[in-house]
Amino acid sequence: MKIAVIGSGYVGLVTGACFADLGIHVTCIDIDEDKVRRLRQGEVPIYEPGLEALIRPALANGRLHFTSDVHEGVAGREVVFIAVGTPSDEDGSADLRHVLAAARSLAQALDGFTVVVDKSTVPVGTADRVREEIAAVLRRRGVAHEFAVVSNPEFLKEGAAVADFMRPDRIVLGLPGGELGRRAREVMDRLYEPLQRNHQRTIYMDVRSAELTKYAANAMLATRISFMNELANLADAVGADIEAVRLGIGSDSRIGYDFLYAGTGYGGSCFPKDTRAILHTAREHGMELQVIQAVEQVNERQKRVLVRKIVARLGEDLRGRRFALWGLAFKPNTDDMRDAPSRVIIRELLSRGADVTAYDPVASKEAQRVLRQDLADQPGWFERLRFVDTPDAALPGADALVIATEWKIFRSPDFGALRSQLKQPLVFDGRNLYAPQRMRQEGIEYHAIGRPMPRD
């Protein structure tokens, strides 16, 4: 079977590499010729555990190919995935320019019945627009090739995307009606057959329901995070321990433990963008999704929770102080800085006159690029931000340690060395990595999210 994937970003690259590993012949198409050149050499432009280990063998055995030529990539393929970016527009809507451009370009190369799959996260109704764009191009070409537009949203967690693809909870297929839908289902079933050996994972539905399913899933997960963060702030106020509360409610089978960890808010490429997009869709239909509006508002406030704790302890004026910062990426096992809470924390600290020395295992290079842009409006601020190569290198002489990302490398530090290297044994933990009782025993003043220091 031969397929094409338009877009070699996060979703497109993982999709193409995983299908190639399953024995499918995959051509990934990208308009960035420099990226295509590097990918052909096995250079992976994103950090995702296990991805490079799939790409290099697939290149060597010829099952994975990269090109910037859409006609070369699409002609003769049974399935063409659209996996390009859908960034937020100024009004919160998903920007579909790249999706519709991909539809027009692939239509130039269609030469027989083809299943066109929307893999990008797109608003309800996008498949209709994709179908219209393809049909218009085919009319101009004077050909009548049949095609079906299918919605097949991705449910990949950054940092675990390869495992999520290979062992999916579900495969959602939104199919058109009639004979075209029947033929599309047959093709997609053959494509996903290698992932169905253990049990049937496919959930079939209409196209619009599949489009909404993706947004609904991310909105629900974002809601759980913001809900827990609000409870953590209440726990701080009343002297309760949010970790005990998490265990108490998570043990209820109707609730469960996943996505119930308090912290400094969510970030990344999905939750912020997708909550804004579903709110925009609701407004277009004369509705207000009040719960999801609150989720987004809570998350924006939560990104400043550590700074509020720092100010409460050290004062508004932080001139002359320096903070060690552990963690820059929005979550572990990725170098993604999109909507990362660390960006807000750094800007807030610098705005109060502090210096920051930061460490991240993989995201430092991307963080430097992003933060240079973030701070371009404030001359001299970026120069007060320094990046180091080890966690310990950030500590000597710092007034406090701030933890923004829960990398495993941070879980078991040498507390004695940490205590001795800081000016004062003071830690602000935005990911609740340590037990307050342990920190008290280590002689470290510990400020976490919703976790009080034990009383005498």
Question: Active-site positions?
Answer: 270
CA distances from 188 to 80, 172, 290, 440 (A): 11, 11, 37, 57
- Which distant-in-sequence residues (6+ apart) come within 8 Å of 156 by Cβ? 10, 11, 14, 164, 165
> Hey, CA dihedral for 209, 212, 214, 218, is it positive or negative?
negative
Integer Cα distance of 161 and 327 in angstroms: 20
Dihedral in degrees, nearest 10, Cα atoms 320, 325, 330, 331: -160
3-state secondary structure of 219: helix
Please count the other Cβ atoms lying within 10 Å of the Cβ belonging to residue 423.
13
Beta-strand relationship, 202-206 and 400-403: unpaired
Taking alpha carbons only, the member of 131, 132, 95, 127 closest to residue 280 is 95
DSSP-assigned letters across all residues of 227-250: HHHHHHHHHHHHT--HHHHHHHHH
